[in-house]
Amino acid sequence: MSIETFRAVEPLYIVILRNTQAENLLRSWVRDNKIEYANVNGNKMMLHHQQAFDRFLVTWTHNWDSITVWDTWNRRHIYI
C-alpha cells in the first residue's frame, strides 16, 4: 500500500475522550450532528473530514478538560 493510499483512509483527527461513558457520548454526538465521516471505537472518535472537526469544536457541550485531539497529518496534539 502506498503512502498516498494510506493517507486517503487515515482520519484527519482523532478525538480522545477520558470519560467512563466516552463511547456513548461520542456516538450520540455523531448521531445528533449527522456526521457521515466518523468512526467511534471505545473512547476514540476518528474524524475523516474537516467540517466534522469544525462542527465538533462548535457543538461539543461536555467537559473540554477530558478531550485530547491528535492531528494525524501534522502529527501533533491540538490544544483547545
| Mean pLDDT across the chain | 91
pLDDT of residue 8: 54
Beta bridge partners of 41: 44
Domain span at 20:
3-78
Model-level pTM?
Answer: 0.87
Whole-angstrom distance, CA of residue 29 vs CA of residue 19? 14
pLDDT of residue 2: 42
76-78 vs 67-71, strand pairing mode? antiparallel
CATH number at residue 51: 3.30.70
Contact 50, 36 (CB under 8 A): no
pLDDT of residue 6: 43
Total domains in the fold of the chain: 1
**Segments in the chain below pLDDT 70:** 1-8
